[in-house]
Structure 1
Amino acid sequence: MVLKIYSQIANESEKALLQFFGDNAVSFIDVDDFVSQIPEDDDSIEVRIHCPGGDVAEGWAIVDKLRATGKKIITVVDGVCASMATIVLLAGSVRKGYKNQRLLIHNTRFCDFYIENATAEDLEAKANDLRSEDNKILDFYVERTGADREVLSTLMKEERYISMQEAKDLGFITEIIEPISAISNTNKNKKNMSKKNLKDALNVLAQALGLSGAKDIELQTEDGQVLTVEREEGDPEVGDAASPDGEWLMPDGRTIIVSDGVITEIREAVPDGGEDVEALKAEIARLTAELESERSKGKSDEESAILAQVKAAGGKQWLDRVTTSNYVPPKPNLARKKEPVAEENVLEKELRERKERAKAHEAEKRKRK
């Protein structure tokens, strides 16, 4: 069951006075009534606190009543937790606090409307009572938090609010409650670890039952890191569980992409230079056809004029007659003159370079095989 302490702690007479002025309070009797209504099969009490403190004796009575139930007590700081409310907080074995709340501890105080009638002895006796109560509270703080006594004593004297992080560091709370939105943002970062923990637990269970647990294969990436894939044998495939997340270049040139602990894509290797050999061959064929086409296009102006003159003189018959002769050429000189190499045009040069690159890629591919 849940007990909410959302107002100050007061005894019954103080509570009645506060209610007269439109305020409210929580008393020991309220807590006693609450405890009496807890079902026997309910073994825990959750106490939610948003309280500025209050009556010391009433606060101690509330703590003792809660701890006497023998049930597990969980205390949660929903808002401010100050003064005697910190004693109630420490009644819990599990103590939580929302991230933006505060906690305040201080030395006890004495308030009496009839202080003017007190003697020096009365005041001295009251001062001793206050010191005794301070030590009692300090002892309880040290026992429940495990913090250094001198540190806690200094904080009580300073009488300043501390954050939930400071409260956790000192041991007043065991857990800081993050906003749900913040928790959901971190879930993705923890997802892979959770999967790994689950897998490890299943492996332990399988071994305990005499079964073979799930096996992994470890692949070394191009840069020397290890990619773990949940697969007993064979090559990794899309859909396999793997870790860690990222894009991993493998020694064979493939790239394995892992997202949220699962392989989502495997990219095949691309030849050096980033060009596909088949595409390069197709480009060479296209350029060759284009070159032949250029060569078969129309003649130059000079060639056209010569053809026109031959046609006017009689065409092929005239050409055969004037070119026929009984002349026998002399024996050729064995020392042949080296013919000049024709200069490549732009298209021929590009074609030659692409053929050389394709040949180099084919050689590289054969080496890899």
Structure 2
Amino acid sequence: MENNLSYRTKHNAKVIAAQWGKSPNDRADWYKIEDKADGAEILIYDVIGFPFVEAKQFIKDLNAIKAKTITVRINSPGGDVFDGVAAYNALKNHPAKITTRIEGLAASIASVIALAGDEVHAYANTMYMIHDPWVMAVGKQEDLRSIADVLEKIGNQLADIYTGKTGLEADTIKEMMHTETWMTAQEGKDLGFVDKVLDGEGKTAKYNLKNIYSNVPENLSFEAQLKTFTAREIERVLIEAGAPRGYAKMVAARGCTGVIDDHRDDDEDAIINTLLQTIKGEKR
């Protein structure tokens, strides 16, 4: 395993973070743990693992939990495969009864972590996605052949996890991975990935997924997600930027569709920053 982590350089950290629209200096906590009287809760709501907080710290924090039940709430676009598999194994081996709950999106390696639960729950409006592992690589032909061999091994290991949960044939799972398969909660249940579909609605994913994946459903496009901003949310941002309350209410009532159309490739923070700059007079 350690030999496969040679990619964790400062340069690659910048490249990988940028792919997710982040900086490695963010040191984002992709998980939060809260011990409660009636059980522990783990929130996984961001990009998993390197170049941010690595699985070693997650496992240390997880092993400190003494509760008899753990609920793992998931809304993640994926992340580092080695950190994700390490987190999956740590959860599987924890003595507590674990329920994983998909609250928005369980894509890529997050779809593996979701299967660590003794029971896998998902809100009806959530999505689940599996795909072949991939990597950004530069090197000589020998280097690239070696990387391809490693990816094949990783893919087979992930397929084993999926088949172990669903009972589907390995060839079926591998084809689903190869074609990047997106599933609704009900589709995931029908295929054996999900044990129970929950009533109600989970969270909106709000990730720029088209920069990462090939077959993102239209309802998960970043533009569609941004249109879920409420008037109250837009008004709050404008007031925080110093706009008069009446002006903020007027702009919020009109929505931010125009801003979205002008920034179709930007992330949510860029959209908000544009609004802030405009109100402050920094952008004309």
Alignment partner of 1:108 is 2:130: no
2:74 partner SS: strand
Partner of 1:178: 199
Partner of 2:280: none
Q: CA RMSD in A?
A: 1.6
Q: Deviations along 1:43-96, whole A, 9 cap, x unmatched?
A: 121111000011011011111222222221110000111000011011111000
Alignment partner of 1:90 is 2:111: no
Summarize the alignment of residues 14-25 of structure 1 with structure 2, pairs less than 5 Å apart: 14-15=51-52
Summarize the alignment of residues 1-369 of structure 1 with structure 2, pairs less than 5 Å apart: 1-11=40-50, 14-15=51-52, 27-39=54-66, 42-112=67-137, 115=138, 118-179=139-200
The whole-number CA distance in structure 1 between the counterparts of 2:89 and 2:188 is: 23
What is the one-letter code of the residue matched to 1:27?
E
TM superposition shift of 1:34: 2.9
What is the one-letter code of the residue matched to 2:88?
V
TM superposition shift of 1:160: 3.3
TM superposition shift of 1:33: 4.0
Percent identical residues = 31
The whole-number CA distance in structure 2 between the counterparts of 1:78 and 1:30 is: 23
Contact 2:131–2:178 (CA<8 Å) still a contact in 1? yes
1:9 partner SS: coil
Q: Mark the runs of 5 or more structure 2 residues left unpaired by the alignment.
A: 1-39, 202-284
Q: Mark the runs of 5 or more structure 1 residues left unpaired by the alignment.
A: 16-25, 181-369
Higher relative contact order (CA closer than 8 Å, sequence separation 6+): 2
The whole-number CA distance in structure 1 between the counterparts of 2:59 and 2:158 is: 22
The whole-number CA distance in structure 1 between the counterparts of 2:193 and 2:54 is: 23
TM superposition shift of 1:110: 1.2
Contact 1:3–1:34 (CA<8 Å) still a contact in 2? no
Contact 2:102–2:126 (CA<8 Å) still a contact in 1? yes
Q: Are residues 10 and 56 of structure 1, via their aligned partners in 2, closer, same or farther at CA, if it must alter by over 3 Å?
A: same
Q: Deviations along 1:87-125, whole A, 9 cap, x unmatched?
A: 10111110000001111100000113xx0xx22121111
Q: Deviations along 1:247-266, whole A, 9 cap, x unmatched?
A: xxxxxxxxxxxxxxxxxxxx
TM superposition shift of 1:149: 2.1
